[in-house]
Amino acid sequence: MKVAIFTETYLPQTSAVETQVFILAKSLKKMGHDVLVVTSDMESDECYSEQDALFCPARPARNVYGQKAKQRKLSRLKERLDEFNPDVIHLFTFWQVGGLGLKYALAHDLPLMTTVQKILDPQSAFGKRKVLGIADRARYRSTFHKALAFSDHITSPSVKICKRLRPICRSKQIRPIPLFINTELFTREAVFEEKKREAMRRRLGLGDKTGILSVGGLTRENRTETLLENWVKTGSKLQLVLVGSGPELENLRSKANLLGIASRVSFAGVIPHEEMNLCYHLCTAFVSAGVSDSMKAAPLEAIACGLPAILPKESPDAGLITEGVNGFLYANSVAFLDIIKNFEALDPEKELMMKKLVGRTVETMSIENQAKAFLKSYVITQKQHYKQAEELE
């Protein structure tokens, strides 16, 4: 099968979408399928191909990707797409690159599958100066609704998003699909040099404390402020480690000082994705307060490394959790504190046993098994497309 995947950004793999597309493309090729990733690159002035990826020049933008393909250059990618001759078009974006994929699918009457990672309000996608980017907002909104209308199959890693889409796409088949993680990178079996372990411990501000890790953007959406408020009543042996950056960083630092917990909270900044495995290994549990629609890869990566994930019951990742086996779900701050106190006096032997049990829950989640789920969706997409074509004849 030949699959053309459209994503606004691809390199480096710093977001869940980029990581998902990278692993999907890699695993499909390993299974004998042909993949062409169509994306954009701010470092280039001309279109180019590299390792089964097709890049269009991009410029900075006030959207969630921080960039957008140059519209006047996009048409130059069509010749390469014609050479590839895809069987299925797969959209991961609704910005400029996604618009190209949608137009190409419609122009060539190709099966179209759309994966919705997040239902974005375009009004909030351009920062505070919303008066800028009116044309971009209109284009995004148009591409989003057209993609849903013309897709033969719609998928999302988030059950919450699937539920929100069903009233909009009543005649469409909408199917939850796995969120990819790199199970070759994120594994509890990894071994690290002592020098690297010590350097990372210092960066995380662990000292001799037990690290409880939270990974993600420091934004209002992720509700990190709620974590800080809950942290006031935790034991002094626990260190809350916040990995990530964002617009709320300084507000959260001030909040930690105001609450008197500055010494028990580490702001570790952004850590490269390839170093996150060590970060997970040095901590004891993963925690989040986020309840947005879009699923995050970090809880699953943490579980793969042996960390139980402590999440709100409303979290989109809640479906990943088997309580007491690979994590815990909480409904309020009282329940949160009841869970956290179990980690205050966890001895090394029990922690090692816990991590082994947690890590085993994702042992069947090989990259190949994850790719098979997408292959099944591609087959459904093709069948639906050609079934509709037959009905119109």
Q: pLDDT tens, position by position, for the chain (393 residues)?
A: 999 999 998 875 556 778 889 889 988 999 999 999 999 999 999 999 998 999 999 998 877 777 889 989 998 999 999 999 999 999 999 989 999 999 999 999 999 999 998 776 544 444 444 434 667 778 888 899 999 999 999 998 888 888 888 888 877 888 888 777 888 889 988 889 999 999 999 999 999 999 999 999 898 889 999 999 999 999 889 999 999 998 899 999 999 999 999 999 999 999 998 899 999 999 999 999 998 767 788 999 999 999 999 999 998 888 889 999 999 999 999 999 999 999 998 999 999 999 999 999 887 777 777 788 899 999 999 999 998 766 665
The residues near 132 (Cβ < 8 Å, ≥ 6 apart) are 62, 126
- Helices 224-231 and 333-340: crossing angle, nearest 10°? 60
For residues 126 and 160, state if they share a domain. yes
For residues 289 and 383, state if they share a domain. no
| Integer Cα distance of 230 and 227 in angstroms | 5
Would 378 be classed as within a structural domain? yes
Would 37 be classed as within a structural domain? yes
Would 186 be classed as within a structural domain? no
Would 166 be classed as within a structural domain? yes
For residues 99 and 238, state if they share a domain. no
Question: Which residue is it, tokens 């995380």?
Answer: 204
For residues 74 and 214, state if they share a domain. no
For residues 276 and 206, state if they share a domain. yes
Would 248 be classed as within a structural domain? yes
Question: Which residue is it, tokens 């980029």?
Answer: 18
For β-strands 285-287 and 210-215, DSSP reports them as parallel
Decide if 262 contacts 256 (C-beta within 8 A).
Answer: yes
For residues 214 and 348, state if they share a domain. yes
Would 188 be classed as within a structural domain? no
Would 189 be classed as within a structural domain? no
Would 187 be classed as within a structural domain? no
Closest by CA to 384, choosing from 179, 176, 177, 174, is 174
For residues 130 and 256, state if they share a domain. no
Report helix, strand or coil for 284: coil
Decide if 203 contacts 275 (C-beta within 8 A).
Answer: no
Domain that holds residue 27: 2-181+366-392
What does the block give as tokens for 180? 């990819």
For residues 138 and 257, state if they share a domain. no
Q: The pTM is what?
A: 0.81
For residues 354 and 377, state if they share a domain. no
Decide if 231 contacts 265 (C-beta within 8 A).
Answer: yes
For residues 203 and 93, state if they share a domain. no
| Integer Cα distance of 346 and 56 in angstroms | 51
Say which CATH number the domain at 341 has.
3.40.50.2000
For residues 311 and 381, state if they share a domain. no
For residues 309 and 200, state if they share a domain. yes
Closest by CA to 136, choosing from 92, 95, 104, 93, is 95
Number of domains within the chain: 2
The residues near 29 (Cβ < 8 Å, ≥ 6 apart) are 35, 52
